[in-house]
Amino acid sequence: MKRFKGKLERLFDIALRAPTDHEAEPMPQYLKTRILAHWRASRVSEPVSRSLAGVFRLSLACATIVMLGSLAWSYDELTHDPQNEVEIANCELRDELRTEVTP
- Over residues 46-66, the pLDDT tens digits come to 566 667 888 899 999 999 999
Give pLDDT, residue 87: 76
Asked if residue 102 belongs to a domain, the reply is yes
Q: Are 88 and 82 in contact (CB under 8 A)?
A: yes
Amino acid (1-letter code) at residue 71: L
Asked if residue 71 belongs to a domain, the reply is yes
Give pLDDT, residue 48: 60
Asked if residue 88 belongs to a domain, the reply is yes
Low-confidence ranges of the chain (pLDDT < 50): none
Q: Are 59 and 53 in contact (CB under 8 A)?
A: no
Q: Is the pTM of this model over 0.85?
A: no
- CB atoms under 10 Å from CB of 20, counted, come to 8
Asked if residue 72 belongs to a domain, the reply is yes
Asked if residue 48 belongs to a domain, the reply is no
User: Which residues, in sequence order, are CB contacts of 51 under 8 Å at separation 6+?
Assistant: none
Asked if residue 17 belongs to a domain, the reply is no
For 80, left (φ over 0), alpha (ψ -120 to 50), or beta?
A: beta
Domain count, the chain: 1
Give pLDDT, residue 67: 96
Asked if residue 49 belongs to a domain, the reply is no
